[in-house]
Amino acid sequence: MRYWYLRIMRQNSSPKNLAAACALGMFIGALPIIPFQSVVVIALAFVLRVNKLAAWLATCYSNAATMVPFYYFLYEVGQAVTPFRNVAFDPDKLRMVDMIHAGWQVFGVMFAGGLAFGIPATIATYFLSLFAIRRYRRRRAVRILRKREE
């Protein structure tokens, strides 16, 4: 984790660019499209001209290992924000093809949950990562200056 953290912090991009990339990755990672999220986030990173590595790394919180609890979370959030109450969550059918065959309502509920979670998380990620990147770079610059003075 520390290695990837430092990779993001040391990218040759502006803090705003890196923060936007992290926010983009957070948003795409919140959508129930795990098999396609890498392709989508890289394509959008090219279009939006943000750092591709940072955007891709920010999607990694939703992955195959966390898929069942994360999709269940999206399902619960989606149930709270959509009128569909008779849609059942089946953890054995989480592949994209299975969800679509189960009905667009299941995918729609999870997608709505992803949007409801993803939009505020994206905004928070932008500002938190912008703060963290600026702070890291400021401290690193001070450390470098102190070493040069010694």
100 in a domain, yes or no?
Answer: yes
* pLDDT value at 46 more than 70: yes
By residue range, what is the domain housing residue 76?
14-147
89 in a domain, yes or no?
Answer: yes
6 in a domain, yes or no?
Answer: no
Predicted pLDDT of residue 98: 67
CA–CA gap between residue 6 and residue 67 (Å, rounded): 26
DSSP code string of 43-98: HHHHHHT--HHHHHHHTTTSSTTTHHHHHHHHHHHHHHHSS--S----TT--SHHH
Tokens of 125: 């990620």
Tokens of 55: 């955007």
> pLDDT averaged over the chain?
87
Q: Which pTM was predicted? A: 0.85
CA–CA gap between residue 49 and residue 112 (Å, rounded): 27
Number of domains in the chain: 1
What is the pLDDT confidence band of residue 5, given thresholds at 50, 70 and 90? confident
1 in a domain, yes or no?
Answer: no
CA–CA gap between residue 63 and residue 41 (Å, rounded): 14
9 in a domain, yes or no?
Answer: no
Greater pLDDT, 112 or 95: 112
CB-based burial, 11-38: b 16+ in 10 Å, e otherwise: bebebebbbbbbbbbbbbbbbbbbeebe
What is the pLDDT confidence band of residue 116, given thresholds at 50, 70 and 90? very high
